[in-house]
A and B are shown apart, each in its own frame.
Chain A
Amino acid sequence: MPRPAAMEPELLRNFPRKPFTVFYPFERLPPFEGLRGRHILYLKRCVGCGTCAKDCPSAAIEMIDWPDEFPQELKNKAGKVPKVDLGRCLFCEQCVESCPRDALEMTQEYELATFDRKAMEWIVDMETE
């Protein structure tokens, strides 16, 4: 049955309410548990096998030689460590799943925009445990 202005009660009910909008940079909603954010690497567990790099859907992970600033006493046999290009990363968590030693993990940090292209290609944060 046609009823003109059928939405009016709904509109007036919502008029005095607080708007649904979240002013994002000023107020942040807490991320849900299990959100896939930036990577974290447990150096002690990484064996440098490169499975993560092989399985990465967008080839964002590259195995590089052990950098100097990393603690040398933790250096694995292969002497390799993954470098993630966050500009290419899809945040699909396949690397975490593929890792045989559970050395990679994803944090809940999602604000990853930078002004610098180079800043996206980083050696993942280390966690020496």
Chain B
Amino acid sequence: MAFDPFWYILLYLFPQYSGTLTILQYILQQQGNVLMDLFKIIVFPGIVFVSILSLFAEWYDRKIYARLQNRVGPFHTGYHGILQPLADIIKLLAKEDIVQSGAEARSLAAAPIFAMTLSLVMLMFIPVYRSAGIISFEGDLIVVLFLSTLFALTVILTGWFSTNRFGEVGTARAGMQLIAYEIPLVLSALTPAIIVAYYYSVPVQVNNYLLTVYGTLPVTTIPTTLFSILTIANITQTQATIGMPFILVAPISFGVFIISLMAEIEKVPFDVPEAHTEIVAGWQTEISGKKLALYRLSSDLEYLWGAGLAAALFLGGPWGPGWDIGLSTLDRLMGAFPWGYVFGTIWFLVKVFAVIFIIANLRTLFARFRIDQVVQGAWKYLIPLAFLNILILQAVFYFDLFGWQSTYYMLLWIAYMI
């Protein structure tokens, strides 16, 4: 673990204790780096960082939403209302927690905690400062998408346990919406993985000889199995390696991903399960006090998760142009300080806030759909569009439209087939 960034930071900040730190590091390495992992999970880029960032993201989203509507948005709490989301949550935490008779009180209390935990775990997979998140293993993209489905399940359970008539209608709608957006979300999230597959695994599957031919590309890690393609770390790494974010290759998939993401996080054209002019607050109707605070925070976290995943899959995650240059020059200037990680974090934030800007803009543009229109639209337009982008990619790679793949590779492939 010699390349772990935090030791560099500590060493840079406290050079006089370098000896002690080195010994400490050695001991910790012998102990399996538990403390370092704890620091990562709890402080950066774990729970504390992500919670603060999600609150800031909510403020940013509200501000953009308001400015597009020619309003000011939150203004009076802190600098231009920057503390408003925090104030909302503190206020809700102090409020009375009302459970109406007839509700499943314990299950109802458990659901928001479950939702909160889920959203925090989901955020652990998002790469913040390097191409892998805190949790990263082969096939974690599928796990993350599955966890997001589980999050929708907590929503359904909340509405169900509250035994409220509006809650039940909202629950039914949440279930319907899950049917609508789940498949386009997964399809569009898998498109980057398919691109990665074209880079690495096809030659591997065909022949070991071809691997060496293909290996002339500047590849650092070469995935060999199907699950390694479905790994967020590999997808971001590939984008860094070829120096191009996948949004340029798969713009339609990016659009489909953003739209189904808005359905997932229940933002305006798809806020059907909690449409407040229709069914009061839908599944949230009976949620109050601390539960509502937890739900608000977890929905903020899910918003951030969505933006982070979009950034990782389509915009290159923490890798940006000039990353290498900045790293090398500053490394020379500043010595051991891990500037790459700092740049990575900055690029990650820039991309996340760009995605949030897009979502906030989309939020202002549309009227709310009816639930039947959501399902219809998803199956009629979103899924075919997601497939269309995959088909286009197939064509592009097969016929070598962009000239990425060398012609002789194609010839060799044909020769092998013969």
CB distance from A4 to the nearest CB of B (A): 8
- CB atoms of B70 and A17 under 8 A apart: yes
Number of A-B contacts (CB under 8 A): 30
A residues within 8 A CB of B70?
14, 17, 19-20
Contact residues of B between 360 and 417, Cβ < 8 Å to A: 361, 364-366
Q: Is B106 at the interface (CB under 8 A from chain A)?
A: no
Residues of A within 8 A of B75 (CB): 23
Contact of A19 among B72, B361, B365, B366 (CB under 8 A): B72
Which residues, 5 to 20 on A, are CB-close (under 8 Å) to B?
5, 7-8, 11-12, 14-15, 17, 19-20
**Is residue B67 within 8 Å, beta carbon to beta carbon, of the partner chain?**
yes
- Whether a CB of chain A sits under 8 angstroms from the CB of B92 is no
In the assembled complex, A72 has its CB within 8 A of some CB on chain B: no
A114 at the binding interface (Cβ < 8 Å): no
A8: chain B residues at CB < 8 Å are 361, 365
Question: CA of A21 to CA of B75 in the docked complex: distance in angstroms?
Answer: 11
Contact B66–A11 (Cβ < 8 Å)? no
Does B332 sit within 8 A of A, measured CB to CB? no
Could you give, for residues 67-78 of chain B, a 1 whenever the CB lies within 8 Å of some chain A CB and a 0 otherwise?
111111001000
A63 to chain B, nearest CB (A): 45
The answer on a CB contact under 8 Å between A21 and B72 is yes
Which B residues from 333 to 373 make CB contacts under 8 A with A?
Answer: 361, 364-366
B66 contact set on A, CB distance < 8 A: 19
User: Complex formed: what's the CA distance from A88 to B75 in Å?
Assistant: 34
Q: Are A11 and B364 in contact (CB under 8 A)?
A: yes
Number of interface residues of A (CB under 8 A): 12
Residues of A within 8 A of B366 (CB): 5
- Are B67's CB and A19's CB within 8 A? yes
Kindly report which residue of chain B lies nearest to residue A21, judged by CB atoms.
Answer: B72
Q: Chain A residues with Cβ under 8 A from B71's Cβ?
A: 19-21
Residues of A contacting B72 in the complex (Cβ-Cβ under 8 angstroms): 19, 21, 23
Q: Helix, strand, loop or mixed for chain A's interface?
A: loop
How many angstroms from the CA of A7 to the CA of B362 in the assembled complex? 10
Q: How far is the CA of A23 from the CA of B75 in the complex (A)?
A: 10
Q: List residues 69-95 of chain B with CB under 8 A from any CB of chain A.
A: 69-72, 75
Q: Name the distance in Å between B73's Cβ and chain A's nearest Cβ.
A: 8
Q: How far is the CA of A5 from the CA of B67 in the complex (A)?
A: 17
Smallest beta-carbon distance A36→chain B, Å: 29
> How far is it, in angstroms, between the C-alpha of A20 and the C-alpha of B66 when the chains are bound?
11
Q: Contact at A15–B67, with CB atoms within 8 Å?
A: yes
A15 vs B67: C-alpha distance when bound (angstroms): 5
Bound CA span A15–B361, Å? 10
Residues in chain B near residue A11, CB distance under 8 A: 68-69, 361, 364-365
Contact bitstring A27-71, B, C-beta under 8 A = 1, else 0: 000000000000000000000000000000000000000000000
**Complex interface: chain B residues within 8 A of A5 (CB):** 365-366
**Per-residue 0/1 for B53-71: is the Cβ within 8 Å of any A Cβ (1 yes, 0 no)?**
0000000000000111111
A12–B67 alpha-carbon span in the complex (Å): 9
If the complex has contacts A19-B72, A21-B72, are A7 and B365 also in contact, measured as CB distance less than 8 A?
A: yes
Residues of B within 8 A of A (CB): 66-72, 75, 361, 364-366
Besides A11-B68, A11-B69, 14 other CB < 8 A contacts? Answer: A5-B365, A7-B364, A8-B361, A11-B361, A11-B364, A14-B67, A14-B68, A14-B69, A15-B68, A19-B70, A19-B71, A19-B72, A23-B72, A23-B75
Give 30 A-B contacts (CB < 8 Å), ordered by A residue.
A5-B365, A5-B366, A7-B364, A7-B365, A8-B361, A8-B365, A11-B68, A11-B69, A11-B361, A11-B364, A11-B365, A12-B68, A14-B67, A14-B68, A14-B69, A14-B70, A15-B67, A15-B68, A17-B70, A19-B66, A19-B67, A19-B70, A19-B71, A19-B72, A20-B70, A20-B71, A21-B71, A21-B72, A23-B72, A23-B75
Please list the residues of chain A having a beta carbon within 8 angstroms of any beta carbon in chain B.
Answer: 5, 7-8, 11-12, 14-15, 17, 19-21, 23
